[in-house]
Chains A and B, each alone.
Chain A
Amino acid sequence: MNTVADARLRRAGSLEKNPRLCQWLRLERDGTVSVFSGKVEIGQGILTALAQIAADELGVALERIRMVAADTSLSPNEGVTSGSLSIQDSGSALRRACAHARALLLERAAERLGVPVSGLRVKDGTVRAGGRSTSYWECADKALFDRDVEEHASLSRLPGEQRVVGTSSPRRDLPDKIAGRPRFIQDMVLPRVLHGRVVRPPHGFAGLDSLDDAKARSIPGVVAIVRDGGFLGVLAEREDAAIAAQLALRDAASWKESAPLPRDIYGWLKANAIDHRVISEKVDGEARSREARTLAASYSKPYISHASIGPSCALAQFEGDKLTVWSHSQGIFNLRRDLSLALDMPEEAVVVRHVEGAGCYGHNGADDVALDATLLARAAGSRPVRVQWMRDDEFGWAPCGPAMALELRASLDPSGNIVAWQHDLWSNGHSSRPGRSDQPALLASWYLARPYQRPSAINMPLPAGAADRNAIPLYDFPNQRVVNHYVREMPVRTSALRSLGAYANVFAIESFMNELAQAAGADPIAFRLRHLSDPRAQAVLEAVARRANWNGWTPREGRGCGIGFAKYKNLGAYCAVVAEVEVGHEVRVHRLNLAVDVGLVINPDGVRNQIEGGAIQSISWTLKEQVKLGERGIASLGWEDYPILKFSEVPSVEIELLDRPDLPSVGAGEAAQGPTAAAIANAVENALGVRVRDLPLTPDRIIAAIERE
């Protein structure tokens, strides 16, 4: 499948940086195939989908594929598992690697069997011609894959070969997870392990003033109190003793006071932007001259926590001057780099091995806790150290998804078409992941006696973007200006949260599209369709309208129905959502209908699971979630202060996958968040006649909006 997108690249996906065939797969003596990917399982099912791709391209049964957990000493460096890119990056590379491997194996088999390749039949790695047969495993030798992947290797199939791509193969990791067998990094046991905990300041970026550690030292089982500048931790034989010592140290430490936080974060963001980048500009004077009416509106989105159910965890062990770290990081190579920076060790002396963790939804504490474990392991000789963050460590110290302020303005012509559009957004950067600065991006490194400087969060460039992800509307507007106002100073540490800026940008754009449709007296879906020329965009809108019986919707007291749409990053999946809500003393979402186009579907059930999960998480963000800020730091440190959607609040979710077998596969994990938020806000407006432009849509916000009207 050669596509325009593929042809633009010199090498498909991650082959660009990892061109050797032996980097991707190895035939094992036991009749299996080890497949190496630098992408990691974070609950999204990627290892299952990649195994399906490998099985198909090699022509072997899925059961023969062994996905090797990412490891800096074994795996191709595929950067970070983020941005819904794993199918594109790793999937496309693996597909070509496996196709090339198969071509080489078939050549060998043809030689052995004395027939041309065209005369071979292959089933599950066994190659037959006439009455004779051989197998991939007999044909492979060590040197066979020691070459660059040739991308022109045929991807065509031999007759009779079955495909697993396109089928809902069950997740390979779920049997362990559902049986309760040890599988997560939190479950990992190493001989002679010590348990560690770290004591953070009460808030902000304060340094350690004084410490009386006598009480902590007296706790039975405590092995060491470790202090390096403002980094303070404890090692104990038992986990419960480490936790007790952590609490004792918290009481016994006094910290310098950190700077107060701004009270009005949105006003502060607008006042503190240092870079004002016009990211899209279109000018059409003739269209501008038809302006009949101009509307403007401001929107906002608070800091949001990743709020993983499983707090971050890591293990670390020194053996001489070699360090091994076990981590659920999304980017093990980048973590290795920042660990080596923070510890002033050569990168070659550090190995980072991926072990699955709880869902992370972006850059949470996974990388930070790896440095915590490493710093404590330095005090543990050759014993391994396990550190798991407590709930308040995770809420208080993992990076948050940034707060954003947005202002939109648009003009309609006399016939109700948009002739001019302006979108301004103010935000911190959306990534402070490791591996992207000359300073380590790891929390503890900024507190050491010789501290590193905390790097500011940055934005990745367009077209994918970060704060400005999805800020450029997919609609066709003759005049258009989109400005990304970047704020470098970070009152709260921010980094990547699932969908980055797309959540707020799509919420604002799609809310505003409804406000404009209303002003134009148009149906919101019809209004969108007449501003869209992309047929795939039109198709998801039309499909969701059919599915939700949009035209048959009858308004009832307190009930509303709303639409939201986006093409993720303007590069990825198309997703349209219709939400039905009921508004009493709070908003309840009753039903979501979604129509989604991700190109060729590798695993339909996997895509549905990701889309539904993304949509439900977005309902939670949209109705409930905001990080509470105290005078000097994050004040929401437990679930009581940071409620998320509960089982009884989750609506029915129905998903239609549009079949696009001839189009490239794109990721599904971040497509639904923005459209779902907008669909809910538009449904609330439909129910109440009141527009709420500030997230989350809590009862307070709704009452405030009613009072404003």
Chain B
Amino acid sequence: MRRLATIVATVVGTGAVASAAAPVASGAVREYWVAAVPAPTWNIAPNQRDAMAGTMLSPSQTVFPTIVYRRYTPHWGHPIRNVPGGSSNQDLIPGPLLRARAADRIRVHFKNLDTLYKRPHSMHFHGVHYKPSSDGAFVPGVSGRDGDVKPGQTWTYKLTAGSDSVGVWPYHDHSPSMDDSILGGMYGMLSILGPGQKRPDREFEVVFAPMGDFQTIDGRAFVGNTPVFTAITGQTVQWDVMAMGSEHHTFHVHGHRWVDRDGRDVDTQTVGPAETFAIRWREEDPGTWLYHCHVESHMMAGMIGTYHVRRR
């Protein structure tokens, strides 16, 4: 496979970079409306197969009800796609991609519409600045409504992106329902740019997490079901990578390399529970490529997908 010419491949804003920066005032105010909603027939493998192994999968193995985050238009107008086109291949897992820029104030209006289990839910954000009332974590006898939003109730999380918030970060349910919720796909990412930093042409979300008997990427398992990412040569692509659950994963993209946070050229990078990293490169290699977790048992259980690059 051809070597990706020189370049623009680098780790961007990993959040691991220490900084004493405090929130910077006077940024924009970015508002998001996000609800916890039922997904009564979530299908981990809609093509009902592990195409690499040539085996079929029954709906009794792959279909189950769950609760997911879903983005709405302002003031709960109507539901919209969670992610920009091409960033994932379905619009419910992961949750909405919450974009901002350092110094922005972020307002996430959350509504619990869990009519399936009628459980409490919440949103807990990593990487940004907030007061305890926007922590979104349930602590018995200590926390407030932010960590225990009952069905039918709303809560607004008030966050600030500091100069130390640049990069991608997880958010997830941290209510009393946290364990079931995370196993069911209630997680998503913040994507925060630095001052003057340009958005990539393509931004791909890759969330490694176990689900039922499978190891999933964005709540789906096996090629064709996991996101089918696409790009055109010359475009800048950014991969937002995250893990949820209790295991580490190794993110690998065939035919490409990038520079990790230690300055090394790599083509495989480890990510642990609630860790994230974002990598960028300018795409120069047309073809169909695999991306996957290189923990072999995870890959065989579904953590693998395809990336298609078309020549300009």
A is bound by B: no
User: Interface residues, chain A, CB within 8 Å of chain B?
Assistant: none
